[in-house]
Chains A and B, each alone.
Chain A
């Protein structure tokens, strides 16, 4: 008896995924747990494995398609079995699945209508709404009208009505108007040289949505300090030299290495313990001060960036942090990180020093209250005891959510951080 295979839930928050690649083709024999396809969820690429055995009779979606949870993707059965009824029930055509090329460059913004809710923690901080079994977005007609008028993406709104229905009170607290600037221009300015149009990946959509939400709803302000990084850079070299020396002669084992960023993660963790007001989240009803120090580390990968989290960074040694960051970054580049590994940080660090950036300001990673932007260590003349001598400087910019972190609090955090960096042995012993 042939059966329909549906898009499974491959992460706790997944509502849709992009079928990145089929690993089996029509006619292939399938065993239980065979790797059928790769599915790109909002951040990670997951393996879609078979729960049944049989013969793959029909692929219903093309590679590159966005597929909602529970939507049919293939038909499994016995060779030669008649699947006409099943095909009719899913509304599929006889031919090969079409590439979703037509839906790639959409000029119009996607309608707010029946789309799945984004895989995101509830905005209100309240309990998660009950998920809609069929993934349909429920909203009152009035809410849909308001959403059209104010350009609100209802997929980002948590509904408080029955079955998660979004009702007027759920969007009354949202900002009144979103600028229309985000709409892509419908036609390229010059004919002839058509631009290369790349359909948005799931990750790019998530980045766009999250950062837009952050920059539009979180009141950012920025505090910059320029610290003496000579001792800090020196400490790192010393640690690495000692770690290398610790490897027995003749051994193939690779020595551990510590980066400036690893030291900064630990330094920030210590400073956050000392200034817990900076380790905080704003919610609609209350300020939340975290009792854990979980630091999100921005990692650039080919498709964009991800922010794996180093949990309990205040309690880990610098070497342990270094190993963990390396492993996380490695898996991030292979797109193997789970959603859990990338969410629920309490503070972020973004370091562009390795790209030669002197100083910049980062966008806060909600619901965190602050993010530290780290520039490169610069060789600069400095004045010491009335003498100009070669020195090392590093610019650090803290972006704060003013709803929870005030200027004086941010300044206190940076003062602690400066003290740690300029007398860096504390980082190792704190």
Chain B
């Protein structure tokens, strides 16, 4: 085991896969000469050269489309957006091309592509740059959506995503890039669609992904220490395919669920999970399912208001206590 930062784990995944398969290449704004907007691709231009680490103009729709075309004719592109917010410009390419081509071509074309970028809130980047975009993409059949919370999962999931023959949207987090964590020695692959129990517990299940797993764990520790409440934290890792079995298994054990996710409360991945639980585990529920989400407003720039809008441990704690009728 060695300890690496989240960004280093992502870099290691890309390097390993590019060395393993010469069809894999990286393309995006500032991925080459600038060494990556968040230094994820640091050193990669030097290592693989400008044919495989390609700087693009500020034209997301263009380089997303080029990537999709390259994937259709046999390459395996990794498209880095500077943030998922900018993917809005390329939404048509992802929605109407990447997600549809396999079906519309009757299976003649596959689109083995990875779109990756930091997602959701950072620190004071304003309402236009703080979106949790996974909710838009997870709704689309034909796409896979992955959102790791730890360096080890970042490594294992990105490698699996690059090897997947379908388009994968890979959601990172600006505030997780410096997070350190242990990764296993040797090749590490994590299958898509398999959640991880980040903390065992019996009283209530918190379901989270990406950075919110850490908020959930913080809430769980505090609940254990101060209130004697034993919370299970389920890290989804993949949002689509969704590990429904793991969700139902945990809720069947605890009979209560709180979903913690960035993004607005109207609809979204959290609402989807609520629906699956009520449909398949109705008889197991002892309390209404709670959701802790970003407040239903455009993200404020003001630092205090911003933190107020983003899900924090105290809000998670209150929600857990409500499910326990405390």
Q: Is the CB of B325 within 8 A of A145?
A: no
Q: Is the CB of B287 within 8 A of A145?
A: no
Q: Which residues of A contact B287 (CB under 8 A)?
A: 140, 161, 167
Q: Is the CB of B285 within 8 A of A169?
A: no
Binary contact readout A162-205 vs B (1 if CB under 8 angstroms, 0 otherwise): 10000111000000000000000000000000000000000000
Q: Is the CB of A141 within 8 A of B325?
A: no
Provide the bound-state CA to CA distance between A58 and B107, in Å: 70
Q: Is the CB of B325 within 8 A of A143?
A: no
Residues facing A in B282-324 (CB within 8 A) are 282-287
User: Is A160 positioned at the interface, with any CB of B under 8 Å from its CB?
Assistant: yes
Residues facing B in A342-396 (CB within 8 A) are none
User: Is A144 positioned at the interface, with any CB of B under 8 Å from its CB?
Assistant: yes
Number of interface residues of A (CB under 8 A): 12
Binary contact readout A122-166 vs B (1 if CB under 8 angstroms, 0 otherwise): 000000000000000000111111000000000000001110000
Provide the bound-state CA to CA distance between A145 and B252, in Å: 12
Provide the bound-state CA to CA distance between A301 and B51, in Å: 100
Q: Which residues of B contact A168 (CB under 8 A)?
A: 255, 286
| Number of A-B residue pairs having CB atoms within 8 Å of each other in the complex | 28
Residues facing A in B184-200 (CB within 8 A) are none
Binary contact readout B165-182 vs A (1 if CB under 8 angstroms, 0 otherwise): 000000000000000000
Q: Is the CB of A142 within 8 A of B285?
A: yes
Q: Is the CB of A142 within 8 A of B325?
A: no
Q: Which residues of A contact B325 (CB under 8 A)?
A: 160-162, 167, 169
Provide the bound-state CA to CA distance between A143 and B256, in Å: 12
Residues facing A in B122-171 (CB within 8 A) are none
Provide the bound-state CA to CA distance between A393 and B279, in Å: 69
Q: Which residues of B contact A142 (CB under 8 A)?
A: 255, 283-286
A405 CB to nearest B CB, Å: 34
Provide the bound-state CA to CA distance between A160 and B286, in Å: 12
A158 CB to nearest B CB, Å: 13
B277 CB to nearest A CB, Å: 11
Binding site for A on B (CB under 8 A): 255, 282-287, 325
Binding site for B on A (CB under 8 A): 140-145, 160-162, 167-169
Contacts A140-B285, A141-B286, A145-B283 aside, 17 further interface pairs with beta carbons under 8 A come to A140-B255, A140-B286, A140-B287, A141-B283, A141-B284, A142-B255, A142-B283, A142-B284, A143-B286, A144-B283, A161-B287, A161-B325, A162-B325, A167-B286, A167-B287, A168-B255, A169-B325
Q: Can you show 8 pairs from A to B with CB atoms below 8 A apart? A: A140-B255, A141-B282, A141-B283, A142-B285, A142-B286, A160-B325, A167-B286, A167-B287
What 7 pairs between A and B have smallest CB-CB spacing?
A145-B283, A142-B286, A168-B286, A140-B286, A142-B255, A141-B285, A161-B325
